[in-house]
Amino acid sequence: MLANILVYDIGSTYTKAAAFSEENGTLRYLGRGQSPTTLNNVMDGAQGAEAALAAQGITLAPDLRRYSSCSAAGGLRMVALGYMPRVTVKAAKEVSMTAGARVMQVVSADEPLSFRKEVLREIDPDIILLSGGTDGGDETCVLENADMICELKSKATVILGCNRYAQREVARRFEAAGIEYVRVPNIMPTIHELNVAPARTAIHEQFIRQITRAHGLLDFQATLTDKVVVPTPGAVLLASELLAKGSYEQEGTGSLLLVDIGGATTDIHSALPELENLTIEERGLVINNEKQFSYRTVEGNLGLRVSATGIPDAVGPKAVLRAMDGDFGVTPEEVLDYTEELECHTDHVPADEREASLDRALATCAVSVALRRHAGIYAQEADPVMGVMAGTAMGRDLRNVERVLCVGGIFVHTEEKKGRELVRKCFEDPGISLLPLREPEILLDRDYIFYALGVLGKHYPDMVLDFMKKHYISQNNQE
């Protein structure tokens, strides 16, 4: 088998390489190899992944096109400073969604200046998102925060995405104090819209600077066709957005939920193309809804290894037992012991079906909690101030979603039927949550290549979209 496209993912533990052949605009998946990541020289890990492909009978074409994503840096530490609490939280999450940043703290003008200073001292962030004020709105808070950053002589790069009328003065103060900054358009120019793409791009550029410095990726990056390394979470989300929305040449498959469960976090991402057709009036105030096309939530305490104890903490050990797909005589105390063991030995592989069933139950509980935190709810009582009646749908409305795509190691290493079942359980008894009204179609990324499709989708959207429709949806319907 001859591969002419190779997509790497440089992870903290393993470097993966997914091999594809492309001929006449048609993409074919050939196989995936992996090797331990070698942070002192990532080229060694990449070559190890290539060797694993060679062992499968896959050879690399002379005109091979190379692309890559990376999660080895772990994400830039970001602190968001803003004016209104709820607006700042929303803006910070949206800006960081695909850019390679981790929001460590969100601080509004409600917090005293002494607290804001302490946050910056303790976290020592790589990025400060300085937001606040719609265009023509408040300037006082932004200038106060700018002076604080100058006083602390912060080493962070400041993404200056505040009220555009205050930006020139803030930039002048930063230049005088030697603070590194990047000016971008206001991330919330009006109360009806978020403009996060320029800020995401700026953070992505800082992410690339960090990983090339910290992990010696410059030589590796030079071998890539586009000379760009994409943050892995961003690559996954880009693929889901392409599948849901489509390209200029062909339609997507419609509303989609993405479940991404890993060792440390459980991420839920929903792409709802129909929301792009809403008028400003229908969209409403940014702070009161979740009506953007693409929306992601991350549960940092729900993972299958690094944060395994967070799952029984969230639902109770008995809920984990109820989620098991067999009676193995496990006690609540054993659930707690097992999750503690997982956190101590994050490379643990289930020794038998009993432990495998426990892993699947933990995954079901993590996804179930994460879905309900992502989805909106039916209001339980009237709120005359907000104009809300009891029973009104509030928040992210997932009731019309028909497909759920699942990404993560457990879906690769679990029997396909059991993998689908562990997710299907999460949609039972939705209660007040705005989860799908009908049982959704469950799609599994069994080959662990969704990240690669996101990377390739930037360059070959129609070819990748066609591949995803056949690989995930048509194939699923044939089974």
Domains of the chain in sequence order: 76-209 (3.40.50.360), 256-448 (no CATH)
Cα–Cα distance for residue pair 78/96, rounded to 1 Å: 8
What are the strands, taking DSSP E only, across 272-331? Answer: 294-299
Range 218-227, long-range pairs (CB < 8 A, 24+ positions): 219/43, 220/10, 220/42, 220/43, 220/46, 220/68, 221/68, 223/66, 224/66, 224/67, 224/68, 225/65, 225/66, 225/67, 226/67, 226/458, 226/459
Q: How far apart are CA 353 and CA 346, in angstroms?
A: 18
Q: Please tell me the predicted confidence (pLDDT) of residue 261.
A: 93
Task: Report the sign of the C-alpha dihedral through residues 150, 153, 156, 157, in that order.
Answer: positive
Looking at residue 252, its pLDDT comes to: 95
Q: Please return the burial class of 77, using the count of CB atoms within 10 Å of its CB with bins 0-12, 13-18 and 19+.
A: middle
Asked if 97 and 200 count as a contact pair (C-beta separation under 8 A), the reply is yes
Pairing state between β 127-130 and 157-160: parallel
Length of the chain counted residue by residue: 479
Tell me how far apart the alpha carbons of residues 183 and 202 are, in angstroms, rounded to a whole number. Answer: 9
Phi and psi torsions of 251, nearest 5°: -75, 150
Beta bridge partners of 296: 269
The residues, any chain, with a CB within 8 Å of residue 42's CB and separated by 6 or more, are 10, 15, 72, 215, 216, 217, 220
Provide the 3-class DSSP secondary structure of residue 326.
coil
Positive or negative, the CA dihedral 44, 46, 50, 51 is positive
User: Which of these, 147, 140, 156, lies nearest to 104 by C-alpha position?
Assistant: 156
Contact 453, 37 (CB under 8 A): no
AA letter at 46: A
Contacts of 408 (CB under 8 A, 6+ apart): 259, 260, 261, 262, 363, 445
| CB 12 within 8 Å of CB 72 | yes
The pLDDT, as a whole number, for residue 314 is 95
d(CA 297, CA 308): 18
Phi–psi pair at 52, nearest 5 degrees = -65, -35
CA–CA separation, 50 and 106 (whole Å) = 42
Per-residue confidence of the chain (479 residues) as pLDDT tens digits? 999 999 999 887 789 999 999 999 999 999 999 999 886 788 889 999 999 999 999 999 999 999 999 876 556 788 989 888 777 767 777 777 656 677 888 888 889 999 999 999 999 999 999 998 889 888 999 999 999 999 999 999 999 999 999 999 999 999 999 999 999 999 888 877 778 888 888 887 887 777 666 566 788 889 999 998 888 888 998 999 999 999 999 999 999 999 999 888 898 999 999 988 877 666 665 545 577 888 888 787 899 998 999 999 999 999 999 999 999 999 999 999 999 999 999 889 999 999 999 999 999 999 999 999 999 998 887 777 656 778 777 889 999 999 999 999 999 999 999 999 999 999 999 999 999 999 999 999 999 999 999 999 999 999 999 999 999 987 666 55
What is the number of other CB atoms lying within 10 angstroms of the CB of residue 218?
11
Q: Which of 289, 242, 230, 238 is nearest to 260 (CA)?
A: 238
Q: Measured between alpha carbons, how far is 390 from 376 in angstroms, rounded to an integer? A: 14
Name the DSSP letter for residue 418: H
